[in-house]
Amino acid sequence: MNSKEIREKFLRYLEKQGCKIVPSGSLVPENDPTTLFTSAGMQQMVPYLLGEKHPLGTRIANSQKCFRAKDIKEVGDLRHNTFFEMLGDWSFNDFFKQEQLIWIFEFLTKEVGLDPKRLFVTVFRGSPENNIPKDTETADIWKSLFKSAGVEAKDADFSEKNGMGKDEKIFYYDDNKNWWSRSGSPENMPIGELGGPDSEIFWDFGADLKMHENSSWKGQPCHVNCDCGRFFEIGNNVFMQYIKEKDGIKTFSKKNVDFGGGLERIAAASIDSPDVFKTDLFLPIINQVEKMSGKRYNSSASEEDKAFRVIADHARAAVLLVADGVFPSNKERGYFARRVIRRALVKAQKLGINDNFMAPMAEIVFEIFEGVYVFPKEKAAEELEKEETKFRKTLVEGLKKFNELILREKEKSGIIKEDGFVKILKGVESFYLYQSFGFPKELIQELCEENGIEFDEKGFNEEFLKHQELSRTASAGMFKGGLADAGEQTTRLHTAAHLMLAALRQVLGSHVMQKGSNITAERLRFDVAHSQKITAEELQKVEDLVNEQISKKIAIEESEMSLEEAKKQNATGAFENKYGDRVKVYTIGNFSKEICGGPHIKNTGELGKFKIIKEESSSSGVRRIKAVLS
Ligand code: SER
């Protein structure tokens, strides 16, 4: 069964049970400042679980787009994803355990056709310290459901110690595993938070696959919650009947249900593939990566296959994030978009893909979700391409630099470790990769791990803070010395000043350096080192050159790099001694490149007409120019 059929069947089946179907909410949660992303279907239901009336009633179902940022590091195995879809249904103090479990069992076994022999469940063991009883009601319902399907279902306890016995289907766990709230266990719940015992459903890919024997868990007993990959959790029924109060967990006045099932995993179970990347939710991406790289994907644990999976997961997530308005940046949500895109690009590079990548990926992802979600396709593709173009400028050089750095570390002997070398990427160096080549911190960390190099996280963080401090100082200094304010008109004149300095250097020579500036909303005043009067003819040339750049509508690019790198790129800098190790560089086409704290406008097209209104002597060897924009 393909994923579209499963999604549809789930919604139609729940509709038959009286649920109203609502659309997926955005990956950016509305009115919820506590979290960056929607990571469970219940997030948009919280007010109704708490008792507010839902306009559509007390039974709701949907398929919700989710992004779990905390799973980024897990991606690479056969079953973890950052972006996934959660099939969900909710009871707002309406149906409860009996109905929920019957429906879900019927949906999985009859609608999707999963063999009940291969389903396993977990149930809450109870928490005496919180006064919450063992959930025998749920266990009894499961037993009768399995029985009705002709399957023996025995209780099992302390499964992690003993492993699984014959016919044992029902496993009991404590509040670490079988209690669900947005903040985890009862102890971690803030006052007013809802939670409750949950009952998870697992699919068994079978002992024959020897996944356990071939995993790092070999030698320990295998059980449903073992991480070897033999079992997939495919659904979770949360019985939200408790609330955290000042004096602990109390029974809530309403009996709610919150069910969530991972579409990718149910789809994988339905085709009996322990690799979710073989489902139609990923396969077209994998196929495209095969085509572009000329390599084949084999579902193995090799670094190459892992790269395929990271790309497939991250490219899909990137498209979905950007489509929901999460554009790559260095902050908050945008940083996650940036991280998944850049990590996917590094992996693609490793598979030998140098061509533009995100745009063809976006096409394929749109296709996968055709008729399911509506995307602002053009805008999304544009943002993805923009980010790719930006990173491609530094990607290859950055990887080269990284290799140089680790080679140097490998060659350098120091305190003896097992293999004779100290291998550590120091904070200054990793920060350099971050700052000058745009490598996200976690990506550098991963590259270090892959190369057996220690990543000095503390050192990186220290550099990061130091830099933040420096850029604050730099921009404060800039406002004082140069710009009267950061208003629009002043900013335009500031950009014009950069163009003018570059033009002066072309017309008068590269000895012309900035000696000081004062920019207000009305005019720019600019002092340059030059020993003679600048002639009317020369001024005209400067004016023409500046206006020429304006008419070319050139985008202004901002980047950050080391001072050394900025000098290497021939960036002009006025107050070198004021800068720290890391500097911002503004580039205007091939015309101007200057170290500067900003701010600047985005495009020279925004400037209008540039005119020099005065040229005079300021002090010995220094000329003062005043200019305006109209
Ligand atoms: N909220 C629960 C979960 O995320 C069930 O939907 O697992």
The model's pLDDT over 516-539, given as tens digits with 9 standing for 90+, comes to 788 888 899 998 888 889 999 999
Q: What's the confidence (pLDDT) of residue 420?
A: 46
How many Å lie between the centroid of ligand 1 and the Cα of residue 623?
69
Share of the chain above pLDDT 70, in %: 92
546-570 pLDDT per residue, tens: 999 999 999 999 888 887 888 888 8
Q: Measured in angstroms, how far is the CA atom of residue 368 from the centroid of ligand 1? A: 24
From the CA of 273, how far away is ligand 1's center (Å)? 23
Cα atoms found within 13 Å of the Cα of residue 371, Cβ hemisphere only? 6
Using the atom order of ligand 1, give the atom closest to the CA of residue 86. 6
Answer whether residue 29 is part of any domain: yes
In a domain, 470, yes or no: no
pLDDT of residue 622: 83
Report the atom number in ligand 1 closest to the C-alpha of 237: 5
Q: Whose alpha carbon is nearest atom 4 of ligand 1?
A: 40
Classify residue 295: in a domain, yes or no.
no
Whether 62 is in the pocket of ligand 1, judged by its Cβ within 6 Å, is: no
Q: In the prediction, which pLDDT does 529 show?
A: 83
Whole-number mean pLDDT of the chain?
A: 90
Q: Let me know whether 181 and 44 are in one domain.
A: yes
Q: How far apart, in whole angstroms, are the C-alpha atoms of residue 128 and residue 614?
A: 84
341-380, pLDDT tens digit by residue?
Answer: 999 999 999 999 998 999 999 999 999 999 999 999 999 9
Which ligand 1 atom sits nearest the alpha carbon of residue 260?
A: 6
The protein residue whose alpha carbon is closest to atom 3 in ligand 1 is 260
**Buried b / exposed e across 87-112, counting CB within 10 Å, b at 16+?**
bbbbbbbbbebebbbbbbbbbbbebb
Query: What integer pLDDT is reported at residue 513 of this predicted model?
Result: 84
Question: Closest residue (by CA) to atom 5 of ligand 1?
Answer: 260
How far is the centre of ligand 1, averaged over its atoms, from the C-alpha of 226 (Å)? 19
Residues 266, 311 within the same domain: no
- Determine the pLDDT at residue 577: 45
pLDDT tier, 195 (very low <50, low <70, confident <90, very high otherwise)? very high
The reply to whether ligand 1 has any atom less than 6 angstroms from the CB of 198 is no
Looking at the fold, whether 174 and 31 belong to one and the same domain comes out as yes
pLDDT value of position 478: 45
Q: Is the CB of 42 under 6 A from ligand 1?
A: yes
List the one residue out of 216, 182, 221 whose CA is nearest residue 198.
182
**Residues 177, 269 share a domain:** yes
Using the CB atoms, write b or e for 525-537: b if 16+ within 10 Å: bbbbebeeebeee
| Lowest-pLDDT choice from 27-36, 160-169, 467-476, 581-590 | 467-476
The pLDDT assigned to 472 comes to 57
The 3 state secondary structure assigned to 103-120 is HHHHHHHHHCCCCHHHEE
Q: Are 44 and 177 members of one domain?
A: yes
Q: Same domain for 407 and 556?
A: no
Please indicate, yes or no, whether residues 255 and 337 belong to a single structural domain of this protein: no
Number of structural domains, the chain? 3
In the listed set 446, 461, 476, which residue is the last one of a domain according to the structure? Answer: 461
Nearest partner of 526 among 489, 500, 556, judged by Cα? 500
CA 383 from chain centre, in angstroms, equals: 15
265 within some domain: yes
CA of 259 to the centre of ligand 1 (A): 6
Ligand 1 contact via 41 beta carbon (within 6 Å): yes
Tell me, yes or no, whether 478 lies in a domain.
no
pLDDT of the residue at 517: 82
CA–centroid distance, 261 to ligand 1, in Å, is: 8
Stretch (H or E) spanning 629: strand 622-629
Quote the Cα angle for 45-47-51, to 5°.
110
> Would 293 be classed as within a structural domain?
no
* pLDDT for res 572: 85
Pick the residue whose CA is nearest to atom 6 on ligand 1.
Answer: 260
pTM of the full predicted structure? 0.74
What is the tens place of the pLDDT at every residue in 445-462?
999 988 888 899 999 999
* Domain that residue 74 falls in: 3-277
- Do 175 and 317 lie in one domain? The reply is no
Q: Which atom of ligand 1 is nearest to the CA of 39?
A: 4
pLDDT mean over 238-262 = 97
Domain match, 112 and 234 both: yes
Residue 609 · residue 630 · CB < 8 Å: yes
Q: How far away, in angstroms, is 238 Cα from ligand 1 center?
A: 7
- Return the pLDDT at 479: 46
User: What would the pLDDT profile of 294-350 be if each residue is shown by its tens digit?
Assistant: 999 999 999 999 999 999 999 999 999 999 999 999 888 999 999 999 999 999 999
Q: Confirm if 559 and 330 have CB atoms less than 8 A apart.
A: no
Segment 138-171, tens digit of pLDDT? 999 999 999 999 999 999 865 566 778 889 999 9
* Domain shared by 311 and 380, yes or no: yes
- Distance from the alpha carbon of residue 88 to the mean position of ligand 1, in angstroms: 8
Give the residue from 556, 562, 543 showing the smallest Cα distance to 503. Answer: 543
For residue 477, tell me if it sits in a domain. no
- Tally Cβ neighbours within 10 Å of residue 325: 16
- Dihedral of CA 607/613/618/622: which sign? positive
Question: Residue 471's pLDDT is what?
Answer: 62
* Amino acid in the structure at residue 541: K
Are 146 and 153 within 8 A, CB to CB?
A: yes
Q: Which whole-number Å values give the CA distances from 36 to 26, 185, 229, 317, 553, in the listed order?
A: 11, 21, 29, 15, 36
Ligand 1 center to 182 CA (angstroms): 9
Rounded to the nearest angstrom, the distance between the alpha carbon of 198 and the centre of ligand 1 is 9
pLDDT at 35: 84
DSSP state of 572: B
Ligand 1 mean position, distance from CA 266 (Å):
15
If asked whether residues 93 and 130 sit together in one domain, one would say yes
Answer yes or no: is 286 within a domain: no
CATH number for the domain harbouring residue 503 = 3.30.980.10
Q: Identify each DSSP E strand in 454-589 by its residue range.
A: 454-455, 514-519, 524-529, 556-562, 582-588
CATH number of 18's domain: 3.30.930.10
Per-residue pLDDT at 276: 98
Q: Which residue has the CA at smallest separation from atom 2 of ligand 1?
A: 260
Is 236 touching ligand 1 by the criterion CB < 6 Å? yes
Burial code of 163-176, b = ≥16 C-beta within 10 A, e = fewer? ebeeebbbbbbebe
Give the pLDDT mean for 41-57: 95
Atom of ligand 1 nearest to the CA of 182: 1
Q: Ligand 1 centre from 123 Cα, in Å?
A: 15
Best mutation site among 10, 35, 39, 42 for ligand 1 pocket (most ligand atoms within 8 Å of CB): 42
What distance in angstroms lies between residue 263's CA and the mean position of ligand 1's atoms?
13
> Does one domain contain both 457 and 493?
no
**Residue 26 backbone class (left: φ over 0; alpha: ψ -120 to 50; beta: rest):** beta
Give, for ligand 1, the residue of 43, 48, 65, 180 to mutate: max count of ligand atoms closer than 8 Å to Cβ: 180
> Which band of pLDDT confidence, cut at 50, 70 and 90, is reported for residue 475?
very low
Indicate the top mutation candidate among 24, 35, 37, 238 to test ligand 1's pocket, ranked by most ligand atoms within 8 A of CB.
238
Minimum-distance ligand 1 atom for the alpha carbon of 261: 6
Closest by Cα among 34, 44, 60, 30 to 189: 34
Question: Is 369 near ligand 1, meaning CB less than 6 Å away?
Answer: no
